[in-house]
């Protein structure tokens, strides 16, 4: 029987499994690699803190998640792939209220990020850092 996301250790398993799949994905893996080559450990640590703050109410993340994504060469297909990989990873590993919240929050972030990326692309600008 699967358990819910309950601890930072659970978040580390989720993040590590998910980003392992991202790195192997033919569509989004090269985009991530182009931005994070040599900096994967730093990124993973940031993602642990991000999800720990979001799901466990343990406020270890500070920052602005959107600006690093603002100029990525992505579209709906990229975000659909990202969501599929994330949701299938959550479903494979966990079951419960926080697992469902993780998927819900990922959906909201993907929708908002794509909308903002398209907006800045259309107006030929970038967000203030």
- Residue 75 and residue 96: Cα distance in Å, rounded? 30
- Residue 51 and residue 25: Cα distance in Å, rounded? 22
Q: 128 is written with which tokens?
A: 């203030």
Count H helices and E strands in the chain, helices first: 5, 0
Model confidence pLDDT, tens digit, residues 13-70: 999 999 999 999 999 999 999 999 999 999 999 999 999 999 999 988 877 777 677 7
- Residue 40 and residue 37: Cα distance in Å, rounded? 7
Residue 97 confidence (pLDDT) above 70: yes
**What CATH class does 8-125 carry?**
mainly alpha
What predicted TM-score, i.e. pTM, was given to this entire model? 0.89
- Residue 95 and residue 97: Cα distance in Å, rounded? 7
Q: How many residues does this entry show for the chain?
A: 129
Residue 129 confidence (pLDDT) above 60: no
Residue 9 confidence (pLDDT) above 60: yes
- Residue 15 and residue 18: Cα distance in Å, rounded? 5
CB 85 within 8 A of CB 21: yes
């Amino acid at each position: 029987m699967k358990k819910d996301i309950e601890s930072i250790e659970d978040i580390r398993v989720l993040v590590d499994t998910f980003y392992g799949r991202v790195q192997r994905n033919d569509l989004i893996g090269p985009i991530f690699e182009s931005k994070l080559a040599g900096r994967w450990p730093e990124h993973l640590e940031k993602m642990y803190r991000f999800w720990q703050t979001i799901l466990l109410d343990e406020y270890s993340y500070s920052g602005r998640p959107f600006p690093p994504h603002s100029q990525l060469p992505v579209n709906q297909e990229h975000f659909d792939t990202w969501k599929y990989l994330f949701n299938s990873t959550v479903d494979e590993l966990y079951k419960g209220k926080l697992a469902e919240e993780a998927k819900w929050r990922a959906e909201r972030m993907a929708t908002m990020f794509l909308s903002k990326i398209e907006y800045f692309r259309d107006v030929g600008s970038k967000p203030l850092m």
